[in-house]
Structure 1
Amino acid sequence: MSHLLRTSRLFAWLFLTGLSVAVIVGSGFYLYLRPGLPPVEQLLDIKLQTPLRVYSKDNRLIAEFGEKRRAPITIEQIPTIQLQAFMAAEDSRFYEHFGVDIKGLARAAIELVSTGSIQSGGSTITMQVAKNYFLSRDRTFIRKFNEILLAVQIERELDKNRILELYLNKIYLGNRAYGIAAAARVYYNKQVNELSLAQMAMLAGLPKAPSAYNPLANPKRAMQRRDWILGRMKELGFISPDAYELAIQAPLTATYNATEAEVDADYVAEMARAEMVRRFGEDAYTDGYTVTLTVDSKDQQQATDALRSGLEAYDRRHGFRGAIGQLDADTLASGNLSSVMLNYPRIESLMPAVVTAVSDDKNEARVHLRRFGPAVMPFESMQWATRYKTENLTGPKPEKPSDVVTAGDVVYVRVDELPQAPAAEAESEADGAGDDPASGIDQPARVSLMQVPRAEGALISLEAKTGAIEALAGGYSFGQSKYNRAMQARRQPGSTFKPFLYLAALESGITPATIYNDAPIVFDDSELETAWRPQNSSGQFSGPTTLREALYSSRNLVSIRLLRDVGIPQTLDYLKQLKVPVENMPKDLSLSLGSGQLSPMELARGLAVIANGGYDVEPFLIQSITDVNGETIYQAPEVVLCDTNCDTAESAPTNPAGETEISPAITAKAAPETRVMRRLADERSVYILHSMLQDVIKLGTGRRALALGRDDIAGKTGTTNEQRDTWFAGFNHNLATTVWVGFDQPAPLGRREFGASTALPIWMDYMKVALDGMPPTFMPRPNGIVNIRINAETGERARPGEEGVFEIFKEEDAPAPLAADDMGPGGTRGKGDDLSRQIF
């Protein structure tokens, strides 16, 4: 008995000694590690990495930037049953322990010994919060001890609901989804409160191993994990047996739901991203900013579609350049066509396809698409494909499919009819995973032959009175080329420059009735190898012509004579007054033909000055910025048009891009400032120019725009030498829109291509949507304008009984009343002057 007692005492002493050593070691670790632990208060200040989101002014998503998908929510927004699903999976005693669950650790150890795996885990939710927010993922004893100490500390300073909220917003749940709200959107395209019980359990199974239990990558294991969690929920009394039975029978419904942009506006999105990075640095991608732009989603989408459609139409007019690749017979027979097609990228709606068979009898070709499998390409979709030879020459019209394609050709197509939606796809189209979804379909897809346009273009639409960018498209495809032609391309504006010259002339006292001679002219210059013999685009001459007719008919020779009268230095000074850049403008008479260089945005801005009645314009894109808490930290200045006493109000400071400067450190709600826009041109001259540019639509080179059925639009076509650049710049009093079409490396578009045939159709496609439902809007008639009936051939007042037309003048520039005995020809600037213009 004494031996048993001695043995018991020995074990007791050994236990006490071990316990003391453990306490001493644990205390030593605590004393050693405690000073290096971060304060819990940091949890309340930590900014969850939330992506930058860009929206249109009508709240449609344009783009999202950032590696992590996250949408932080409060615990009140999460259903109780969802919270219980996570607790059942990760920490069923969450509301009972002090941060470390001794029973949970013991249960995890038993599970490991009995099953070889741990289902419920040993870490508490609080320990996971400590690890996710403060610690590395290193599997070391020191890190685990730190985790335990931090968990205890967190529990002492934060309430349980706050800890659970932090956990559910931070946790990684696979597929770049961080937090429960992002996961609900990625896997089910739902809000958290819209999930079914089975779906809630599925998400609760992800924290343990987001890859291993991912319902997209490993559906079988994910279902097993889900069912185990549902069983735990029943066992813990969180759900009833009936609810368990219903949920356990639910099928797998998870699919990949990427954050899809609602507006196709990549160039605009990139402009917003670059501006946000300029203001906030790399924090722009992680601090949860929301940027609202000035663009309207409907107008922006139409701008993108109209530009692409116009470039495709131009491209088809110049013929088919042939296949982009060729597969040999062995590859065609291999049955591995989808993998081979990964070498050819999709470009917007154009998809690469390989021709597998051509049947002239059936009047069709058979093709294979990477994502959709077999498809039919009927001959009617190929009839445009005359063979390209040069920009001015194509081959004969094809008569059968074999005239266009042969088996093995890789071409671009557009899907017209899809018999059924494609099967579930992998996260990225580029991975090429999965079998052809179209296999087994009786009726294959129908497609049309296409090709990626070589010509490029740009469209910019500005709200004329404020400068807000209503829509912008910088090229055919941002994915193909990130070069933003709307902002970066500097090209010759051609005749779209003439409105600025004519406005300068009107300001100098020349009138729409002034007569100029549209006749040949030759300039000899010692610096030129040959004499300069400018011509009209038509090659024709019309003799004495009023300035109004010269503008709507785009008479180059009149513009040259007009610039000579106004003066080159004076015209350049006036351009500076209008804030039209002159750095790349020539200082000779070729200036009158638009031989300088402007970007489409610079031209659009100048056009907006004309459209709004002569006031300054500063284009801007960002309407507002809010932080992760929804607080507005920037609001675009309110634009005020000012005629007099403008210096009494201060304008908001601007940067070279026209955006108002703000400090990245701003966090408080920002009150909108005021941007004062001063008058740059005489409103009477601008009003007269509106009338003259309206005639471009009614009578001149822009007549095609009459199809819009509006009488409030005005504009000017533009075509440079050899048709290297083609333009249309048009407006009403509220909206100014400019379109450019050309090659990135300047080259002729073709001798039958002009601004009216390339740029104007794009402008019309856009404006029919942008102006839809809007009443006609005209510039108000200013004081000091008179209407006088004149002789259109002489520019003088019409005599009684003489046929005449009404013209508008500034009062001081109106033609003088005719004397009774005045029978000679003349104009509004004096007989001698007008005679010289007619002759020379």
Structure 2
Amino acid sequence: MSFISTVVNFLALPFATASYRKDLRRTLLALGADGALAVLVLIIAMLLTVLPSLPSFDVVTDYRPKIPLRVYTADGALLGEFGDEHRDFTPIKEIPPVLKDALLSIEDSRFYEHSGVDYRGVLRALVADLTGGFRQGASTITMQVARAFFLSQEKTVRRKLTEVVLAYRIESALSKDQILELYMNQIYLGQRTHGFAAAARTYFNKRLPELTLAEAAMLAGIPQNPAKRNPAVNPVRAKARQELVLKRMLQLGKITQAQYAEAANQPLKISRSLQFEAHADYVAELVRQQLYAQYKGDAYTQGLNVYTTLDKAEQNAAYDSVRRNVLAYDQRHGYRGPEGFVDLPSDADEQEDAIDRILAKHPSSDNLISAVVTEVSPKLVRAEPASGDTIEIKGEGLRFAARALQPNAKVDAKIRVGSVIRASQDGKGRWSISQMPEVDAAFVALNAEDGSYRAMVGGFDFSRNQFNHVTNAWRQPGSSIKPFVYSAALEKGFSPATLMNDAPLSLPGGENGQPWEPKNDDGFDGAMTLRQALARSKNVVAVRLLQAISPNYARDYLQRFGFDAAKHPANLTMTLGSGSVTPLQMAGAYAVFANGGYRVTPRLVQKITDARGNVLWEAPPPPAREDEQRAIDPRNAFIMDSMLREVVRSGTGAAASQRLGRYDLAGKTGTTSNAVDGWFAGYSGNVVAVSWMGHDQPKSLGGREFGATLALPIWIDYMRQALSGKPPNERKPPPGVSFVDGDWLYDEFKGDEGVKALDVEESPLKSIFDTLKKVFGG
């Protein structure tokens, strides 16, 4: 007995804790003198080789977890995360008891009793290793913490002995709760996820306090083998491990038989990827670029939180609207055929592997699920998606691709066994054949008063195309540029009531020496007011108007709205939108009309905080309006607002007022030559928004497509959310304008100074306008 006491005292020197001495004495007494001597020799060797090379210990005493960069909406909805490790640090007091009980039951039921090492288990593991094969684990939670922070996963005696030493050092430096807190925040749980809080979000899209017993037990089962036991990768193995956890909890009295039965039978909905509360991949990427430029690699590990100016509901409405209306356009233009094809082997396992390989090249896009056809007829299609569940499509779900299901369908368009198709599911669970669209779209909404983003969708699918069309796509604006030419004309004495002649026009400068003859989409209508001409988007009138004020004057004037003069030609085609703009630039320009004549600077980030919530940077409040911010005369903004409202009341944008049931909307459609680009730019109150649709490689969208059919529906669907519950917005006329002869006019242009009519002598109604000339004094 005295020999064993001597051994205990010697071995206890590096770890002077009472619990350590007690555990060691109990183990050595069970071994006897010979066993104790063997352990003494082994431990002395360990101390001589391991202690000098122990790593620095401050990594656990001063724990600084790698927490990713997170991007939020203004109202706190998570919309993006960047970093190698998905982690949410959670203090031990905020971790629910059900999760702690589940974890300790399966991993270390004596955690609060032992001193860091289960000696009998360690000795069994060492014997197994020395006799061939490391099949015994025996690692406590503390030992796993030591391994996670300091050691590799190699299975050697030296590594195991080092783990033991480190475990005792950890126990001597930290409380049990501190050790468990480290473990539950640091441990890897599959899918790039570290810690249980992040795992709850990844696999169940829940916060820790929301976990059920069944979900907690499944998470507790992952640490044994995160690669193979996580439910996203292998739900069968994860379920078996979960049941083992529940049985262990029952044995230890942590749950009742009834709780066990309920949890074991509870169906779980497993997420296969990190879920975000708002669809804003393009916004998140824009923020990531800004933060990386400022913080470099630290941006991804320091737990920075970036709060944007976006509104969650409006962002999701914009995303849904872009997706829905792009797919509607795609449906109008027919089914193009399967995306790919794979020969399916007859062996079931080989067939499953073949399906997995081909679908990896055709990832799903939100509700557009990729799948391989396994059975096909004109009345029924069965297909296998990556999830392994069989999709069954019949009835109305086959209509879109009906021709591709016929025996005589063209080979490249025919759906057959092995074809890769897209399927979407409606709210009632019914599947339909769909397809990935070739066309793309963009949408942006700003607060017209301060320039803050309300919503932004840079394209149809970020995973397919990371190019942000809102900020980077320079496209021809078509007729959506006309209001800025009209605005310039107001400064030259024109008014909404000015008469212009909508009649054929032939000018030099066409192709191959031929005259240039601009056309309207709806023919010619003779003399009309500028208000009518803008509402109906009359091209010829716009050309005549630009001709009257000169292209050079108009191009210089465009710069007031933030347009780049170098991007617009100094000729008459400018008024038809032959220049180049971005959707963001267009939104800022229309904001000038919406807010009474002031330029605004788009801003996305509201504030940045660190991992503890301390504010690192916050955007200053918008400056008070000053003259240097003014882009145009308030009278100009008021009159243009009235004309743009007319576009939406009776002109090419009338569908907006009809479908939204309100008449405080203003905006302008835009369609470029051959319908290559479709636009709608408009606003109501302080919400200004721009939508665009087109191909990345410009080509016609179709002979019957216009801005009103392509982009306006996107704008309408977003505005339904943005304006919900908001009263109508009316504008009061500013000083210096008068309502003369049925329309608005600058006071200084009343009488003979204003432009009453232009080119009406070419009208078929010349006699009528001769009379008008006499009334206006010639």
TM-score range relative to shorter protein: 0.7 to 0.9
CA 1:278–1:149: 2 relative to 1, 3 Å: same
Aligned AA for 1:772? S
Q: Does 1:226 align with 2:245?
A: yes
Q: Does 1:173 align with 2:189?
A: yes
Q: Does 1:730 align with 2:693?
A: no
8 A contact 1:355–1:406 mirrored in 2: no
CA 1:585–1:132: 2 relative to 1, 3 Å: same
Q: Corresponding residue for 2:545?
A: 562
- Within 2, Cα distance between the matches of 1:334 and 1:108? 40
Alignment of 1:290-369 (within 5 A): 290-325=305-340, 342=356, 343=358, 345=362, 346-351=364-369, 352=371, 354=373, 356-359=375-378, 364-369=379-384
Q: Does 1:681 align with 2:664?
A: no
Aligned AA for 1:460? V
- Deviations along 1:290-327, whole A, 9 cap, x unmatched? 33332223322222222233223333333333444567
Aligned AA for 1:629? R
Q: Corresponding residue for 2:24?
A: none
Offset at residue 72 of structure 1 (A): 1.5
CA 1:408–1:156: 2 relative to 1, 3 Å: closer
Which among 506, 510, 514 is matched to residue 522 of structure 1?
Answer: 506
- Deviations along 1:28-79, whole A, 9 cap, x unmatched? 5577336xx3242x43544312333333333333333334332221111234
CA 1:353–1:772: 2 relative to 1, 3 Å: farther
- Within 2, Cα distance between the matches of 1:357 and 1:19? 70
Q: Identity, % of aligned pairs?
A: 36
Q: Does 1:775 align with 2:727?
A: yes
Q: Corresponding residue for 1:616?
A: 599
Offset at residue 581 of structure 1 (A): 2.0
CA 1:188–1:558: 2 relative to 1, 3 Å: closer
Q: Does 1:33 align with 2:50?
A: no
Alignment of 1:489-638 (within 5 A): 489-525=473-509, 529-538=512-521, 540-638=523-621
CA 1:127–1:386: 2 relative to 1, 3 Å: closer
CA 1:31–1:699: 2 relative to 1, 3 Å: closer
- Within 1, Cα distance between the matches of 2:36 and 2:423? 80
8 A contact 1:513–1:828 mirrored in 2: no
Aligned AA for 1:32? P
8 A contact 1:50–1:286 mirrored in 2: yes
Which among 826, 829, 835 is matched to residue 755 of structure 2?
Answer: 829
Q: Corresponding residue for 2:392?
A: 375
Alignment of 1:235-250 (within 5 A): 239=253, 243=256, 247=260
CA 1:247–1:378: 2 relative to 1, 3 Å: closer
Q: How many residues align?
A: 717
SS of residue matched to 1:692: helix
Q: Does 1:701 align with 2:684?
A: no
- Within 2, Cα distance between the matches of 1:220 and 1:787? 75
Q: Does 1:263 align with 2:278?
A: yes
Which among 459, 467, 470 is matched to residue 483 of structure 1?
Answer: 467
SS of residue matched to 2:264: coil
- Within 2, Cα distance between the matches of 1:198 and 1:706? 51
8 A contact 1:213–1:225 mirrored in 2: no
Offset at residue 484 of structure 1 (A): 2.1
Moved more, 409-418 or 574-583: 409-418
Offset at residue 692 of structure 1 (A): 0.9
- Within 2, Cα distance between the matches of 1:828 and 1:686? 18
Q: Does 1:742 align with 2:694?
A: yes
8 A contact 1:337–1:368 mirrored in 2: no
Alignment of 1:705-724 (within 5 A): 705-707=656-658, 708-724=660-676
Offset at residue 776 of structure 1 (A): 1.1
- Within 2, Cα distance between the matches of 1:750 and 1:84? 63
- Within 2, Cα distance between the matches of 1:563 and 1:196? 68
CA 1:144–1:354: 2 relative to 1, 3 Å: closer
Q: Corresponding residue for 1:792?
A: none
CA 1:91–1:683: 2 relative to 1, 3 Å: same
CA 1:252–1:113: 2 relative to 1, 3 Å: farther
Q: Does 1:279 align with 2:262?
A: no
Q: Corresponding residue for 2:751?
A: 815
8 A contact 2:205–2:275 mirrored in 1: no
- Within 1, Cα distance between the matches of 2:420 and 2:130? 60
Offset at residue 493 of structure 1 (A): 0.5
Offset at residue 160 of structure 1 (A): 3.3
CA 1:713–1:338: 2 relative to 1, 3 Å: farther
- Structure 2: 5+ residue runs without aligned partners? 1-31, 767-778
SS of residue matched to 1:619: coil
Structure richer in helix, relative to its length: 2
Aligned AA for 1:779? R
SS of residue matched to 1:736: strand
CA 1:336–1:788: 2 relative to 1, 3 Å: farther
Q: Does 1:71 align with 2:85?
A: no
Moved more, 466-475 or 364-373: 364-373
- Structure 1: 5+ residue runs without aligned partners? 1-11, 388-397, 420-444, 647-677, 790-805, 817-826
CA 1:809–1:170: 2 relative to 1, 3 Å: same
Aligned AA for 1:702? G
CA 1:91–1:115: 2 relative to 1, 3 Å: farther
- Within 2, Cα distance between the matches of 1:300 and 1:276? 21
8 A contact 2:568–2:580 mirrored in 1: yes
- Deviations along 1:597-630, whole A, 9 cap, x unmatched? 1111111221122212111122222333332222
TM-score, normalised on structure 2? 0.80
CA 1:746–1:137: 2 relative to 1, 3 Å: same
